Amino acid sequence: MFLKKKILCLIPARGGSKGIKLKNLKKIENKSLVSHTINFAKSLKFIDEIVLSSDHKKIIDSGIKLGTKIHYRSKKLSGDFVADISLILDVIKNKKYYNFDYLLYLQPTSPFRLKRDFVKALKNLIKKKADATWSVTSISNKNHPLKILKQNSKNYIQTYINSGNKIIARQQLDRVFIRNGIFYFFLIKKLKNKKNIYLKKNLPYEINYKYINIDNQADLKKARKLFSEKRKSK
Give per-residue pLDDT as tens, 120-130. 999 999 999 99
Q: Which residues of 195-207 are buried (b: 16+ CB within 10 A; e: fewer)?
A: eebeeeebebbeb
User: What is residue 171's predicted lDDT score, i.e. its pLDDT?
Assistant: 73
The residues, ordered by sequence, that sit 6+ positions from 89 with a Cβ below 8 Å of its Cβ are 191, 192, 194
Q: How far apart are the first and last CA of the chain?
A: 31
Q: How confident is the model at residue 137 (pLDDT cuts 50, 70, 90)?
A: very high
Q: How confident is the model at residue 37 (pLDDT cuts 50, 70, 90)?
A: very high
User: What is residue 164's predicted lDDT score, i.e. its pLDDT?
Assistant: 65
> Does pLDDT of 41 surpass 80?
yes
**Rounded CA separation 57/61 (Å):** 6
Domain spans in the chain, listed from the N-terminal domain onward: 7-138+177-217, 140-175
For the segment 183-200, the average pLDDT, to the nearest whole number, is 96
The residues, ordered by sequence, that sit 6+ positions from 84 with a Cβ below 8 Å of its Cβ are 12, 105, 197
Crossing angle of helices 57-65 and 33-43, in 10° steps, is 30
Greater confidence, 79 or 169?
A: 79
SS3 60: helix
Could you list the beta-strand ranges (E) of 29-176.
31-32, 49-54, 69-72, 102-105, 132-138, 149-151, 157-159
According to DSSP, the β-strands at 31-32 and 49-54 are: unpaired
Of 155, 174, 152, the closest CA to residue 163 belongs to 174
The residues, ordered by sequence, that sit 6+ positions from 146 with a Cβ below 8 Å of its Cβ are 159, 161, 163, 164, 167, 173
Q: How confident is the model at residue 19 (pLDDT cuts 50, 70, 90)?
A: confident
Greater confidence, 142 or 43?
A: 43
Name the residue type at position 170: R
Q: How confident is the model at residue 135 (pLDDT cuts 50, 70, 90)?
A: very high
| Residues listed for the chain | 234
* Superfamily name and number for 7-138+177-217: Spore Coat Polysaccharide Biosynthesis Protein SpsA; Chain A (3.90.550.10)
